[in-house]
Amino acid sequence: MAVSGSVSQQGGNNAASRFPLQSCPTMPSLHTRSEPWQRMPGRKARKFIFAWAVALSAVLPVIAHAQIMTADLNTLTCGDLVNTLAGSGLTILNATCKGANVALGTFTGGAEIIGLANGIILSSGAVASVAGPNTADDTTTNNGQPGDPDLDSLISGFTTFDAAVLEFDFIPSGSTVVFRYVFASEEYNEFANTPFNNVFGFFVNGVNFALLPDGVTPVAINNVNGGDPDECSDAVDNDGDELVDDADPDCTTPGDNIVGENNQNSQFYINNDCSDPDGGEPCPFNIEADGFTVVLEFIAPVNPGQVNTIKLAIADAGDSILDSWVFIEAGSLMAGEIFLTPESATNKGGTTHTVTATILRNGLPLPDQPVIFQVFSGAQCGQIGYRNHRCQRQSGFHLYWR
């Protein structure tokens, strides 16, 4: 996939320092954030002990496995990123990168770790810092970069910092674009369900479509997590099941990626903090992030044959500490078109009818492509699909390929 048109980059070449902290902006009252090592000294101490073990061990099994490797904009161009991301069915017109050079790049070696073999990576810190093993709760790179107004709009009352942005125009051949991605963060697990959440967004023509499969819920730390481990030692029934702390299976069941009582959409979450429940040393996955999502599908409607805009962005929120990353699979940004036979049908309640979906890319049918459908009116309105549509008076549904 060739990129035509102009390509530009913005941001410094500064090498990121490891742990400098910048003063927090004015925050809403009642919310304060101590550093992770101040909040949980026992957990932090265990993680530092493990870090020394990594340094001293001659043979560490986790390092013998797959390793994520990265390159950033100190050696790549913004055009390299969009060429890596773009698949078939669309033409890229231009691309702009904003943020520190160390915050945008490419990755390889992720198949056995995050479920994506290679692609592009954006970070609120440094892309290189994501490489495993996990030896710290508080990996931080302060790039001294500004935030992003579109990301600010997703977290009312907070300011973003160190934004990394890839934005480009494109002309799709079909009415839908898709790609696959994973979000990972150092804010897991200790800042789940708190006001301190790094933020990311995938904006198509100005609208954020970084959503869970219900088509409504934004993918964010507070919306996808295994809970906060502090909920397992606070003598409070945090999830209303009348079970507290060690009496709650959420705090004791191994291997379920749940580390606290008030977990949110945990079926989409993978825990990688070796000092929390479900952990163990070494940490389960060879990646620095304390937690990450399963592979998620991005899907958004576009205007076929016309110029559309996509913006991929991530930033720190509230302060400049604790890094996050978003991985997007190489070649997975694709456009397609769906034709239905019949185009409409009516059936009585309790009965079924068949609709055949033919998926075309570049005018040719694609075999064996799964299709997700969503009802946008009638009794089953909004129950299935990747986007939420306001119900109309007439009956109907939308189909999306992926």
pLDDT value at residue 240: 86
CA distance 331 to 165: 19
Of 376, 367, 366, 365, the residue nearest 399 (C-alpha): 376
Please give the tally of structural domains in the chain. 2
**Is 247 within a domain?**
no
The pLDDT, as a whole number, for residue 359 is 63
Residue 216 to residues 209, 212, 261, 387, Cα–Cα distance (Å): 9, 7, 23, 7
Query: Which of 128, 130, 126, 116 shows the shortest CA–CA distance to 328?
Result: 116
Residue ending a domain, choose from 335, 363, 384: 335
89 and 45 share a domain?
yes
- Are both 66 and 158 inside the same structural domain? yes
Same domain, 307 and 350: no
Domain residues for the domain of 377 are 337-401
User: Do 107 and 218 reside in the same domain of the chain?
Assistant: yes
In tens digits, what is the pLDDT along the chain, a chain of 402 residues? 443 343 444 444 333 332 233 333 333 323 344 444 343 433 443 343 334 333 433 333 443 468 999 999 999 999 999 999 999 889 999 999 999 999 999 999 999 999 999 999 999 999 999 999 999 888 999 999 999 999 999 988 889 999 999 999 999 988 889 899 999 999 999 999 888 889 999 999 999 999 998 888 999 999 999 998 888 888 999 888 889 888 888 888 877 888 888 899 999 999 998 877 665 566 889 999 999 999 998 988 899 999 999 999 999 998 888 999 999 999 999 887 666 677 666 666 667 667 676 666 555 666 655 555 555 555 555 444 333 333 332 334 444 444
The answer to whether 341 and 355 have CB atoms below 8 angstroms apart is yes
Q: Is residue 174 part of a domain?
A: yes
Instruction: Mark which of 317, 335, 353 sits at the end of a domain.
Output: 335
Beta-bridge mates of residue 144? none
Residue 243 lies in a domain: no
In angstroms, what CA-CA distances link 133 with 66, 70, 290, 348? 11, 14, 10, 57
Strands 90-98 and 7-9, by their bridges, are parallel
Q: What is the 3-state secondary structure (H, E, C) of 342-372?
A: CCCCCCCCCCCCCCEEEEEECCEECCCCCEE
Same structural domain, 395 and 290: no
CA–CA gap between residue 108 and residue 67 (Å, rounded): 8
